[in-house]
Amino acid sequence: MTVKEGKLFTAEESRAVLREVFNQSDSPLEFLSLAELELKGARSTSLCHPREETLVFNLKGPVTVQVGGQAFDMEHYDVLYIPKGAEYIVQEKEGGEALVYLYRALADNVHPARLMRWKEVSADPARIRVLNRKKVFLMFDVGEEADKFMAGYTFYEDHARAWPPHNHTDQEECYSFIEGSGAMQVYEDDEHLTFIKATKIGTHITIPLMNYHPVFSHEEPLCFIWCIAGERYWVGDKNKDFMKGKGERITT
């Protein structure tokens, strides 16, 4: 038997760091949770969520995600759906740094894994919604099988805002800011309006049911991920007044 040499490791030198950003205990949301996974030329441990389906958003560096016997190569902005109860491993591919967001939602059913490629979605007019100084890309739409998830990217030009403000009776959300900076409001009504200042890269904001949630860009463009857990529709596809910018408030 060959005797192997021991090695010294410290947490500060870890090449794979998984951080729970929020879950149902502190969000306060009913279905949705979020974790960030950073990799530096490394791979994650085997991950599994017995009660939750998962959406993987790749934000930095190419990665390979192994789900069961399948391997999915993910480029920048690609999105991967992982079914409830499936084991998966995330591997950084080129010896550099990678960052993925892992959104999870409580689910009852098992659906097939599905990779959505940014290059294909961003070139498909059926997946793009054009608003005033904004574009929405439907990365994971109603045509993809899932229990509760819908998700995508919204890109703002500078000095733009969401209009009209809207809220949902049957969808909770998270907005994750990944480019630029701006601000956001989350409020039940005008009397209880709160103001969340200085959204920047790495800011995540949870939106419980019935909260209005407009976003504002300032001197530079911004982009955020919107991830829905609940009924599966996008507000502008359900209410055409939102697309036209009509009305003072919209509830779906």
Low-confidence ranges of the chain (pLDDT < 70): none
The burial class, CB within 10 Å (0-12 / 13-18 / 19+), for 153 is: buried
Query: What is the DSSP pairing of strand 166-167 with strand 250-251?
Result: parallel
108-118 b/e with 16+ CB inside 10 Å = b? eeebebbbbbb
Do the beta carbons of residue 148 and residue 111 sit within 8 Å?
no
Do the beta carbons of residue 123 and residue 71 sit within 8 Å?
no
pLDDT value of position 12: 83
What does the CA dihedral 63, 64, 67, 72 come to, rounded to 10 degrees? 110
pLDDT value of position 185: 93
pLDDT value of position 182: 95
pLDDT value of position 13: 84
pLDDT value of position 190: 87
**d(C-alpha 230, C-alpha 251), whole Å:** 15
pLDDT value of position 141: 98
Please report the domains of the chain, with CATH numbers, ordered by start residue: 11-116 (2.60.120.10), 121-251 (2.60.120.10)
Q: Where are the alpha helices (DSSP H) in the chain?
A: 118-121, 235-238, 240-244
Preceding amide of 221 cis, omega within 30: no
What does the CA dihedral 137, 242, 163, 29 come to, rounded to 10 degrees? -70
